[in-house]
Structure 1
Amino acid sequence: MSKTVNQTTADERGENDEPEFDEAAAAAAAQMGDFADTRPAKNFGASFKRLVGLFAPWKWVFALATFLGIIWVTVSVLAPKVLGEATNIIFEGFVGGHLPAGQSKEQVIAGLEAQGQTDFAQMLSAMHIVPGEGIDFYRLGQTLLFVLLLYFVANAIDYLSGYLLNGVVVKAMYRLRESVEEKIHRLPLAYFDRVKRGELLSRVTNDVDNITNSLQQSLIYAITSLLQVIGVLIMMFVISWQLALVALVMIPLTGGIFAVIGPKAQKAFSGQWKATGKLNARVEESFSGHALVRVFGREQKIRAGFAEENEELLGATMRAQFLSGMMMPLMMFAGNISYVGIAILGGLQVASGQLRLGDVQAFIQYSQQFTQPLAQLGSMATTLQSAVASAERVFELLEAEEETPDAVDAPALVPGPGKIEFQDASFSYDPENPLVTDLSFTVEPGQTVAIVGPTGAGKTTLVNLVMRFYDIDSGRILLDGQDTGELRRRELRARTGMVLQDPWLFQGSILENIRYGRQSATDAEVLEAATAAYVDRFVHSLPDGYDTVLDEEASNISAGEKQLVTIARAFVANPAVLILDEATSSVDTRTELLLQQAMAALRKGRTSFVIAHRLSTIRDADLILVMEAGRIAEQGTHDSLMAARGAYWRLHESQYEGAHDDGDAAGDAAAAADAAAREAPHAE
């Protein structure tokens, strides 16, 4: 079964190696999701505090935005008061124009009271009128121009404040993405073994994007909304404390609404983003294994699983959107109740001469300005809950246990010929199930070591330990006498080249994919490696030759051609230690014979580990390690192991039983080609 560097679980943990689609296991895994998703959500306050902490480097920007917000509130709360004065000029000028000229205001009021028009007289007592004079249009024009200036300044300040805060959000999310990217490179391979790629991608992309969008919608207006509530409340009390008390009725109403809906919305958003991650994992898994799904006729099962998880996401999204959507209408309803009370009481106060008409108009505007930021804060609260739900998932990734860091005083890797020594090395994925136990052997420089054995014996685990993809539990692994556990991983892996059974190529030209093995390689060195690996044999038939751009899955070349490119990449790397994990399994017979020659040239002068299932391909190995249950059952050359008639002999006989003659013929051909390659001049 094919294995990649971070997918050793099936082979090396003793699981079935048959290419079956385990529906029950897949369904269970899909329901479990990521290991972290089964844990309860963290405390909202703690998560929110950590989210706010992301903006600590830009405290001065928040201070400036707060200062601008104070100016904006001051200007914006003055505008209704000034506009109310314009209303007073119009209304009082109209009333004054219909009163008899030549009398004072007091005389007019006294005359009305004498006529029994007490209510009208009380209303006039609060007005600033001159009987017989109409509307003062000059004063009205000045007032309106001042209002326009106030609104212009307020909008300009609001834009500047929003621009600054929006920039902070973008920069903070940029750093968060950097942190996530750096974290991924510090995680051990064990993390990727147990977390689905789709789930991981969902956290890195969807959740971070949701945090960005949510904060852009809420953080930018949070400061100004809070300041606006304070400023408007002050102005309302200045105009009329009775009306202000009526307006304050909505605060406990909105508080109760948020207390009831808020926690439910938070839970709903957590479920929504968890369901999104599960669905992404399902989609990624289905498309990456689309061919296998079709081969086993599981399209209907996949569609059913997708439909089920899509339905789950739909339900979670509908619940989250329903709860968050309720917040604004309910708060507006509470505001309307307050508005009706203000209109009734304000009208009575105007009629009784306690307030001027323009003051009531200004107060109604203030009540709307008071309701709007409260409703915005409620809407922001639900949006923020969605952001915190996503932030928790990202923080779980950032809190995942990291790979043990290299020691600060780690010794430098001393160049050497590539001698590998295992000294009583032991390793297990699960402490209760030992895998590799007390493993000891030595590989001399330039030797080719073949590793064979049944499924789950620990073959790929062994080479992963050489690369320090996993650290051993006890014992030592030495490279030219240096303990690999004490070396820096980057230096250790720079000395090692690997060709996997499943070739990995990225979206780019063939030339770039080959040069990936060593970025400093010249074009001539890349072409030399391509020729040695027989890439040059097919590349000229492609539209753009070496500049042909491979698509995302490198599907525009065959599986065998992909493997040839990865082998050319290993040539360019020029490593001291070479690991070949069934590297020729996906090529045709003729190409395999050619590759045997290329591999012989590649292995010459290098310490090589070859994991093989076809024993015919490793007959000429200097040392063959036969592994069983994580230990070396036998070691020796092909001839000595066949003569011993032990575990290797049993593997050999079982492999060629029923087709012994044909198998030996093919094996002899491969071995002959390999031997010829070793003797050929170009192999030097």
Structure 2
Amino acid sequence: MSTVVDKAQHDAPTPGPVRADRAWPVYRRLLKFSTDYRGLLSVALVGMLIEAAAGGAFTKMMEPIIDETFVGTNAGVNLWLPAAIIGLFVMRGIAGYLADYNMAKAGRGIARDLRVMVLGKYLRLPGMRFDAEPVPSMLIRLGSDSDQVSQAAVDAAKVMIQQSLQIIASLIVMLWTSWQVTLTILVIAPPLSWIMGKVARRYRRVSHNIQDSSALLLQAADQSLSNQQEVKIYGAQAAENARYRAVADTHMRLNLKVEATRAISSAVVQLMGSVGLALLIVIAGYEASQGRLTAGGFVALMIAMMAIIPALKQLTNVQNMLQRGVASAERLFEILDSDDERDTGTRPLARARGEIEFRNVGARYPGQNAPALEDVSFVAKPGTVTAIVGRSGSGKSTLIKLIPRFYAQAQGEILLDGYPIDDYKLSDVRRQIALVGQQVMLFDDTVAANIAYGEMAGVSREALDAAIRGANAMEFIEKLPKHLESGIGSRGGRLSGGQRQRLAIARAMLKDAPILILDEATAALDTESERLVQDALEHLMPDRTTLVIAHRLSTIEHADQVLVLDHGRLVEHGTHQQLLEQDGLYARLHRMQFRDGDGGDRVG
């Protein structure tokens, strides 16, 4: 079985620039996401072909316009040329609209698909991933990275195809008008290609660092704003501003590197274009003196050359968009390529009896020498309450996270109803567990939607009302403007702490799972809220296997067994009274709480 360390090391982010030899494979894989949009992209490609052809035709029309209208004064030409020009630009406008709209629709679709895929993947990753990568970094991947990938896959491709077709159309016009002049000025192509290659490599080096810097910028802001009360009360506004400014300065410097590269490369491309233009004038003048080039042909060559220069400039500038997208794509593929939570069990499990047994279980976190848990063994029988106490950092939270398999144990076995918990399907195991924690997970939705959540959506109104009454939540729900259909705000911000806890208990009651985990469910509540929540828990706990972390003493005292953890080891095990009589760690914690608290309201 893989250890917690192995999983974390495998899943941890590995930032770094996209190497040149990996850029094309990443982009090629990225293009596979466009296969669902082949129809849109085909229409867009046809539109771009027509657009380029119309542009080339207009350039070539400059030759008869000059030769017949101004040189030859052919009145007949004056009649059809204006109509032809208008027709070309109408066709070009329609083709351009079709190209732009269909490319944009495909690009936004790819960004949406990637966001949905990456979020779904995050929700299938092991719990250690969320310890290794902060949520702001995940949000950058879902937001900015997905947009950059969309730009690379479609928007950058649109510019590259459009401008490449424009260059090809202009070159065709130039070759058609005078192949001698055209071949002569193509001597600037090799150095121009070399410059664009250098620009692409520089963009690759900087682009990945910009995305990592964006994640740090969001993380720094999230920490300051989420903890604004502590920032204000301790007078840390200046320190937080300074820390944020340092990250923002780094982000600005990286972006300035990109802009400097873009500006210099554009200037060099335009300089080389001017050299080509100068060559065109000299050589075309010579060809005209030899009678091989008309005035109209010279104008057509000049306009075609003038169209190529901005097209080359745009191809150079699009490297920034393209390389940022490739760097972002690699960051997203890193998530999509990560291993899902281990789920190899095949034993069916409709409803467990709820017997949990730990046999010499150990767990370890990455970067820590000491194990989080070591050689822990106990049995929790159905219908009993097991209290888990200990000092901070003793391994209480780690222990309960092993049961729903948020983490994988490094040693030993965890049995559910006599079989290793890994033998069951992951979804079946989690279906047997209800969790009520200190930090209640609520969404910006209605009361009813937050209680009848997930697989419980669509339950009968009678079952929903029974769960609400059992959780002592009906008294405040009936006072809300729309009762069960009232919105509760982001993270339940419109409710008090006790009200949020009672919604979580109602959700657990509605699930009616055989195993109940209470993780400091009454911490940080006032006395009245604590009484209501405690009474609700007493309705919830009977006939289940209940594991309680650092609960109030009233629950601890009546627990069927108390597990005392210290430095990851199970140091004491017995009932409340037995442990007091042993006069060990539990007794010392008990005396400490009674001495320092108001009657020993908490053990750990």
Q: Structure 1 length as normaliser, TM-score?
A: 0.80
Match of 1:648 among 580, 586, 589: 586
Q: Please state if 1:422 is matched with 2:363.
A: no
Query: CA offsets, 1:585-636, max 9 Å, x none?
Result: 1221233233322211110111100111544431011111112232322222
Residue identity in the other structure for 1:635: H
Structure 1, 589-598 or 497-506: larger mean CA deviation:
589-598
Structure 1, 548-557 or 576-585: larger mean CA deviation:
548-557
Alignment of 1:595-614 (within 5 A): 595-612=533-550, 614=552
Q: How many residues align?
A: 591
Match of 1:558 among 469, 487, 496: 496
Match of 2:378 among 434, 441, 451: 441
Structure 2: how far apart are the matches of 1:502 and 1:238? Answer: 73
Q: Is the 8 A contact 2:208 2:327 kept in 1?
A: yes
Alignment of 1:27-426 (within 5 A): 36=13, 38-42=15-19, 43-58=22-37, 69-70=48-49, 72-93=51-72, 135-407=73-345, 410-426=346-362
Residue identity in the other structure for 2:500: K
Aligned to 2:436: 499
Q: Could you say what secondary structure the match of 1:412 adopts? A: coil
Structure 1: how far apart are the matches of 2:208 and 2:375? Answer: 46
Aligned to 1:106: none
Q: How large is the Cα RMSD of the aligned pairs? A: 2.8
Q: Is the 8 A contact 1:427 1:436 kept in 2?
A: yes
- Cα offset for 1:342? 1.9
Structure 1, 519-528 or 563-572: larger mean CA deviation:
519-528
Aligned to 1:102: none
Structure 1, 545-554 or 582-591: larger mean CA deviation:
545-554
Structure 1: how far apart are the matches of 2:100 and 2:38? Answer: 15
Structure 2: how far apart are the matches of 1:595 and 1:268? Answer: 53
- Cα offset for 1:215? 4.4
Q: Is the 8 A contact 1:509 1:548 kept in 2?
A: yes
Structure 2: how far apart are the matches of 1:37 and 1:473? Answer: 24
Aligned to 2:8: none
Q: Could you say what secondary structure the match of 1:208 adopts? A: helix
- Cα offset for 1:35? 5.7
Residue identity in the other structure for 1:601: H
Aligned to 1:588: 526
Compared CA separation, residues 516 and 70, structure 1 to 2 (3 A): closer
- Cα offset for 1:268? 2.6
Q: Is the 8 A contact 2:151 2:322 kept in 1?
A: no
- Cα offset for 1:448? 0.8
Q: Could you say what secondary structure the match of 1:54 adopts? A: helix
Residue identity in the other structure for 2:168: I
Residue identity in the other structure for 1:418: G
Structure 2: how far apart are the matches of 1:81 and 1:538? Answer: 78
Match of 2:599 among 643, 663, 666: 663
Structure 1: how far apart are the matches of 2:53 and 2:498? Answer: 72
Q: Is the 8 A contact 2:502 2:536 kept in 1?
A: no
Structure 2: how far apart are the matches of 1:363 and 1:621? Answer: 92
Query: CA offsets, 1:619-667, max 9 Å, x none?
Result: 01111111223232222211122222223222212222366xx516x69
Q: Is the 8 A contact 1:215 1:387 kept in 2?
A: yes
Q: Is the 8 A contact 1:417 1:446 kept in 2?
A: no
Residue identity in the other structure for 2:62: L
Structure 1, 148-157 or 449-458: larger mean CA deviation:
148-157
Structure 1: how far apart are the matches of 2:131 and 2:230? Answer: 20
Aligned to 1:569: 507
Query: CA offsets, 1:529-549, max 9 Å, x none?
Result: 222222223334444443332
Compared CA separation, residues 159 and 546, structure 1 to 2 (3 A): closer
Compared CA separation, residues 574 and 35, structure 1 to 2 (3 A): closer
Q: Could you say what secondary structure the match of 1:610 adopts? A: strand
Aligned to 2:414: 477
Q: Higher Cα Rg: structure 1 or 2?
A: 1
Structure 2 residue runs of 5 or longer lacking an equivalent are: 6-10
Structure 1 residue runs of 5 or longer lacking an equivalent are: 1-7, 10-33, 94-134, 671-684
Q: Is the 8 A contact 2:18 2:326 kept in 1?
A: no
- Cα offset for 1:56? 4.3
Residue identity in the other structure for 1:489: L
Structure 2: how far apart are the matches of 1:80 and 1:39? Answer: 46
Q: Is the 8 A contact 1:445 1:607 kept in 2?
A: yes
Q: Structure 2 length as normaliser, TM-score?
A: 0.90
Residue identity in the other structure for 2:179: W
- Cα offset for 1:214? 4.6
